[in-house]
Amino acid sequence: MIDTTPTSPTGQSTAEPRQVDAVEGFERISTLLGDLNRLPSGTVANRSEYDADGSHENQLLSVRLGVATSLFYSLRCKHRQTADHSLRVALGCSVWADRLQLPTELRDRLEVAALLHDIGNIATPDRVLKKPGHLTADERLIMDQAPDVACEILRGCCNDDSLLNILRYSRNWYKAGNDSDQIQGDDLPLGARMLAIVESFDSMTTDQVYRRAFSQERAVAELFQCAGTQFDPDLVRDYAVLLENRPELMYATAARRWLQELQGEFSNRFWSSSPSSSSGTTGERQTGQLLFHQHLLDTMCDGVVAIDGEGVITHWNYAFERMTNIAADAMIGQAWSDSLVGWEDTRAPSGDSVGLSSCLRSGAQSRRRMRMVLPEGKETPVKVNFIPILAAENRVQGALAIVNDISQEESLEQKVQSLHVKATRDGLTGVANRAEFDRALGDVVEFAAEGKGPASLILCDIDRFKSVNDTFGHQAGDEALISFAEVLARHSRDGDLVARYGGEEFVLLCPGCDNATAAKRAETIRSDLERISQPALNNKCITASFGVTEYQSGDTESTVVARADRALYKAKENGRNRVVQLGSGLREPVDTMSDSSKGWFHWLLTPSKSNQVVAELVTRAPVEMVIEKLRGFIADHNAEILKVQDKRLELRLDVRSSIHGRRSADGVSAFHLLIDLDERNVETGLHGEHSSLMETVIDASVSPWRSRDRRNREVKGACRNVIASLKSYLMADYVKQP
């Protein structure tokens, strides 16, 4: 079930029935300022309002909350991540309310309630709110009281019971059971039911300490899984349709309404008193020196983590994020604990304490050869330099750890890096060429297929490039290509591969990067590109469209590229200069497809007793959404539709096997795929209650097309791979494994 209390640092639900599922999540669209900066040209009157100190964010809050803006500022001072989450939830609720054509009064209440739904966390102690580990029973009890505290805070300045009821009941389950005295079902306010869904959406699309953000498609499946119990099933279905349609424009619509339609008196009508106003805003001031230091830390190959005098994490660079597999966004601002990363020095004297906390206490610098031990038991040999940060009079005001990975194992990043030689470079732009990309893509797909980590692909294309050549000439077009390649290279990380795919199309191959992170990176590149003037184009700017996807079970090199290309085409179709992400990513370990730990490659080497692989799948997604996902499966696999009859579909697929024969043609085999779809009612209520929620059952069977293929020992594994790919595309789970 889905966690609806995103501000809990561990993601643990604060109410007993809300235990966190290990596979919950949504693709995070972007960080707060990234979301606001994504608005297309013309959304607001003055693009300069988007600045680094958050003044545009403050303007949005002022026109929406009026005199109650100070409440939100208080929450932001207490915990910035919670405030950012609340603003994204409010914008999402606003767009959804517009789609449903809700009355203006209800939409206004919903927006304000969403902005302030976590205001109760002001009363939550920092030791609980910023705790990086699991919460104790007493700490969970404190978090449980946050919604009630929010209502108490707002009751002092708000006399609108409808608004307060949205907050009060947003944590209630849609079906809590017959023995529950909670308000449930359609008796819950519509705004509360909507807020619960959007809050969970944003919580699961945000990097947390305990997990990375999940992709949108994977999260939609989670929403459907909890529909009928935790959430209103009809609203879940409608929200899924909203996400399917141009989600990249969601926040732009709401921000435009807030800035252009709302007036001061209109925003203040919920509040019974008007505190004295104060001029000016207090945004975070980033000087050029600070930006330089931040860029320096982010591009270092060594991991860097720093804490201040209170033990709060202030820096966590990308290299350390990759070493620990813990997102920086989830850690900065949290309290440091030596249990997060253990430093073991077997040569140190007994009782010798080593770590950031001891460095902060003692103020002594030390350099050691150690083993870094993560909570999941992973050990990495490292060299660590613990450095105290000193202020005036040698007073210790923080500590810094610089971590150098000295593991002798050759990583995938090193393999990709070794291919960067002159023979593999594009002659014009200097980035990798198409042949180099094809070779690297095979390594990355193999890396992901063996369960070593996620891998993503960003496919990008300069918008209206033909008009650039026609207007300014081909020489100017070449300069634009070089400039675009430089932007991509500047935003690449250690182990990434930037390549020219063809013409004005480029790719960024990102091993170790999931869907959500890749989409966020693509948005950053898109935003930077549209601000760079091109001297060869009379100082005009160019824009680009981006398609993002992640390797998922059953993928081959061709299906990954095809899905990214489909996302790119959708970005072009939706108006260009935007990022579209497709694919659910890895939802489960790759070895779950077989009954042994050897993975499905084991089946490639095992003679088959049957020529057909049969599986039964189920998904809570409605059949019309399943059909849309099937269209993507057919397009990406270049499948041939043989027959469509009622709810049955017959396809022919040409699949490249992982084990090739002596001839290149031996590696390609044709398969017959038969799919039956059926919708059925399922019992979703607790304690024997029934609901009208529908789920889609998929019966699939795969068999070799030619009789001679049935003698190949790898055919069974290839059939299983087709089923795994179908399962990923349809966001389904196994009822009967192949």
Tokens of 642: 């043989």
Tokens of 505: 């199309």
More confident: 688 or 521: 521
Tokens of 12: 């643990």
Number of DSSP helices (H) and strands (E) in the chain, helices first: 27, 19
Residue 480 clears pLDDT 50, i.e. is over it: yes
More confident: 413 or 222: 222
Distance CA(19)–CA(25), nearest Å, equals: 14
Q: What is the pLDDT of residue 620?
A: 85
More confident: 690 or 494: 494
- 492 CB burial (10 A radius; 0-12, 13-18, 19+): middle
Residue 592 clears pLDDT 60, i.e. is over it: no
Q: Which of 439, 444, 737 is nearest to 594 (CA)?
A: 737
Residue 566 clears pLDDT 80, i.e. is over it: yes
Is residue 544 within 8 Å of 462, Cβ to Cβ?
yes
Count of beta carbons in the 10 Å neighbourhood of residue 466: 11
Q: What is the DSSP string of 314-365?
A: EEE-HHHHHHHT--HHHHTTSBP-TTTSEEE-TTSPTT---SHHHHHHH---
Relative to beta strand 668-681, strand 303-308 is unpaired
Distance CA(696)–CA(622), nearest Å, equals: 6
Residue 680's beta-bridge partner residues?
A: 695
Q: What is the pLDDT of residue 479?
A: 95
Residue 384 clears pLDDT 60, i.e. is over it: yes
Distance CA(736)–CA(618), nearest Å, equals: 9
Residue 264 clears pLDDT 80, i.e. is over it: no
Tokens of 90: 């409010």
pLDDT tens digits, 711-727? 556 777 888 889 999 99
Distance CA(53)–CA(525), nearest Å, equals: 20
Residue 533 clears pLDDT 90, i.e. is over it: yes
Which ranges of 101-214 does DSSP label H, i.e. alpha helix? 104-115, 126-129, 137-144, 146-155, 161-168, 190-204
Among the residue ranges 115-119, 191-195, 692-696, the one predicted with the least confidence is 692-696
Tokens of 688: 């024997």
Q: What are the backbone dihedrals phi and psi of residue 679, each rounded to the nearest 5 degrees, phi first?
A: -105, 140
pLDDT tens digits, 90-119? 888 988 998 899 998 898 889 888 888 888
Residue 45 clears pLDDT 60, i.e. is over it: no
More confident: 2 or 675: 675
Q: What is the pLDDT of residue 277?
A: 41
Distance CA(142)–CA(131), nearest Å, equals: 13
Q: What are the backbone dihedrals phi and psi of residue 221, each rounded to the nearest 5 degrees, phi first?
A: -60, -40
As a whole-number percent, the residues of the chain with pLDDT over 70 amount to: 73
Q: What is the pLDDT of residue 141?
A: 85
Residue 26 clears pLDDT 70, i.e. is over it: no
Distance CA(198)–CA(373), nearest Å, equals: 37
Residue 322 clears pLDDT 50, i.e. is over it: yes
Mean pLDDT of the 51-76 span: 67
Give the position of tokens 């707060």: 32
Distance CA(387)–CA(173), nearest Å, equals: 49
Distance CA(301)–CA(318), nearest Å, equals: 9
Mean pLDDT of the 321-333 span: 86
Confidence of residue 527 (pLDDT cuts 50, 70, 90): very high
Distance CA(438)–CA(560), nearest Å, equals: 12
Among the residue ranges 393-402, 462-471, 533-542, the one predicted with the least confidence is 393-402
Q: What is the pLDDT of residue 562?
A: 94
Mean pLDDT of the 609-634 span: 85
Contacts 24+ apart (CB under 8 A), 39-42: 39/251, 39/252, 39/255, 39/256, 40/249, 40/252, 40/575, 40/577, 40/578
Residue 17 clears pLDDT 50, i.e. is over it: no
More confident: 580 or 688: 580
Residue 39 clears pLDDT 80, i.e. is over it: no
Residue 468 clears pLDDT 90, i.e. is over it: yes
More confident: 602 or 126: 126
Q: What is the pLDDT of residue 499?
A: 95
Distance CA(532)–CA(535), nearest Å, equals: 10
Distance CA(115)–CA(4), nearest Å, equals: 15
Q: What is the pLDDT of residue 708?
A: 61
Is residue 142 within 8 Å of 14, Cβ to Cβ?
no
Q: What is the pLDDT of residue 70?
A: 75
Q: What is the pLDDT of residue 706?
A: 76
Residue 585 clears pLDDT 90, i.e. is over it: no
Distance CA(29)–CA(204), nearest Å, equals: 11
Residue 188 clears pLDDT 50, i.e. is over it: yes
Residue 401's beta-bridge partner residues?
A: 305, 386
Q: What is the pLDDT of residue 598?
A: 41
Residue 364 clears pLDDT 90, i.e. is over it: no
SS3 497: strand
Is residue 553 within 8 Å of 586, Cβ to Cβ?
yes
Q: Which of 158, 382, 130, 103 is nearest to 271 (CA)?
A: 158
Q: What is the pLDDT of residue 682?
A: 73
- 39 CB burial (10 A radius; 0-12, 13-18, 19+): buried
According to the per-residue pLDDT averaged within each range, which of 342-356, 471-485, 606-620 is highest?
471-485
Residue 52 clears pLDDT 70, i.e. is over it: no
Residue 409 clears pLDDT 60, i.e. is over it: no
Which ranges of 491-598 does DSSP label H, i.e. alpha helix? 515-529, 557-573
C-alpha distances in Å from residue 688, one per residue of 88, 175, 691: 37, 11, 10
Residue 20 clears pLDDT 50, i.e. is over it: no
Residue 10 clears pLDDT 60, i.e. is over it: no
Residue 534's beta-bridge partner residues?
A: 540
C-alpha distances in Å from residue 142, one per residue of 78, 272, 362: 16, 29, 34
Q: Which of 709, 730, 523, 530 is nearest to 616 (CA)?
A: 730
Mean pLDDT of the 170-185 span: 82
Beta-carbon contacts of 337 under 8 Å, excluding residues fewer than 6 positions away, are 132, 133
